[in-house]
Each structure stands twice: as structure tokens, then as C-alpha cells.
Amino acid sequence: MSDYRKQFRVEPGSQVRLKDWDPQYSDDHEKKKHALLEIEDCRQRLDDLQYRLYAERKSSMLICLQAPDAAGKDGVVRHVIATMNPQGCRVASFKQPSAEEQAHDFLWRIERQCPERGEVVIFNRSQYEDVLIVRVHDLVPKKVWSRRYEQINEFERRLAAGGTHILKFFLNISKDEQLRRFGQRLDDPARQWKISDGDYAEREYWADYQEAYEAALTQCSTEDAPWYVIPSDHKWFRDLAISRILVETMEKMDIEMPKPTVDLAAIRRKYHEAAQKA
């Protein structure tokens, strides 16, 4: 079995060129149905692992999703992470900053959504918006956004030091596949609400975005918070790769169920006494 944690991980200090990462890659899985069986197994294991994390309340997990439009951020949330109990898992989305958010440092709105101990939080878009869209569209000067890579690294180091395990997934989709999915949205009433003129306008900046993604992946993949470049032209393989990385990462966290804080023998006696009177 391939080690996706190693295969798709951006090694800290390496130079990322997205042309070297095949978005159509699907490993040795010849049939989608075999992958779906493994995904379901991973979902069940994730449900158990997240329950243990919530019960133990010693650490937390932050999952960051970044991708071009239509690469499948919502799909990952729905098909991979939705199995987790909402009591200890939530999704935070970051779109255009509000007036209140713009009045603060760019990380202010991000820090407010970080996980508490025992919690899993998924960032649908993330702190990296402030070195992606702002760079491509010149929303702030280069001297401002160029400093943000190290500010993000320091922010993530601080989270990791506090017990937060960070996984960052870049969903790598080809330009042709993106256009095909846009076409599917046109024909599917259930997905037409996602269509916007901006989708096609942003395609004009594809090369600029690729360059911005490469810079973020290169400068911000660290031991504390690694980036993974996930092949995403095949939705089922995207979900399989992320599912497996999540399971393997959480299993290595050695999460243990907490010990009872009461005298079980005494509670058991009270239970039997109550049952006899019932």
C-alpha cells in the first residue's frame, strides 16, 4: 500500500513546481468501487478517532483546504469529514473579509476560528487567501503580502506548540478538468447555485494563481504544518488520499480514552440497587 503521507507531502525546504505533480494520478486503483470501499473504512475509523480526540481533550486538529474553484473543497468536507460528530467537529469558511475583519490584522479572523482542545476544525479556504488572491489581484503591496509567509509560519508554529496538529491539503486540479466541472454545474440544477461570472473571470489568472500556490507551498510547508498536494482530477482518488492521510495521522497521535473519574464499583452497586427497585 502506498504511503500517501510521504508521497504527497511537500518536504520542507523543497521548491514546488506544480507541473511536476500530476492532477490525474490515481495510484494503482483501477476501479473506483475499490477506492470507495476503502474510503468507507477510513470514514468509520475517523469517526472513532475523532470521538477519542473529543473525549481525551488534550490536543486538537486543524485541517486546511485550498484549491482552485471546482477542485472539491466542499466535496472533501461532505464525503470525507462529514462522518465526524458535529459535537467535536466544525467547518469555518473564509471569503471576502468583512469591514470588521479588515480593521484588524489579516490573521485576526483566522485565530478566532482555531480549534479548542478535543476539537477538529476544517478551514474551507484559510489564512493562505492573504498570499493568494491578494497577490494575484494586487490588493495589497508586495512588501505587505511577501512578509505574510513567515507570519503564517509563526502562527502555525504557535498552534502546534499548543497541541494542535495541522494538516494542509492543496487540491491539485487541471485547468481542463475545472472547465469540465463548470459545464457539469450548468447541467445540474442542484449545483447551479454555485455558478458565478467570477468563475470564468478567474480562469484568466490561472497561471498567476499557479505561481502563487507554488510560492505558498514552497515557503509554508514545515515540519509543524506540512502541505500535501492531492491529485484531484478524480474525485474518488482525492477523497481516498485525504482519508488515508487523516487516519494515519490521527492514529500516530496515540489518542487514549480518558480514565473514569468516579468509583465504578460504587456506581455499579447503585445501578443494581436502582434496577432491583424498578
Label residue 254 left, alpha or beta by phi (over 0 means left) and psi (-120 to 50 means alpha).
left
Q: Which domains does the chain have, with CATH numbers?
A: 4-277 (3.40.50.300)
> First vs last Cα of the chain: how many Å apart?
54
Question: Counting Cβ atoms within 10 Å, is residue 156 exposed (0-12), middle (13-18) or buried (19+)?
Answer: buried
Residues 64-110: tens digit of each pLDDT: 999 999 999 999 999 888 889 888 999 999 988 999 999 999 999 99
pLDDT at 7: 96
pLDDT at 242: 97
pLDDT of 218 over the 90 cut: yes
Question: Half-sphere exposure of residue 44, counting CA atoms within 13 Å on the CB side?
Answer: 5
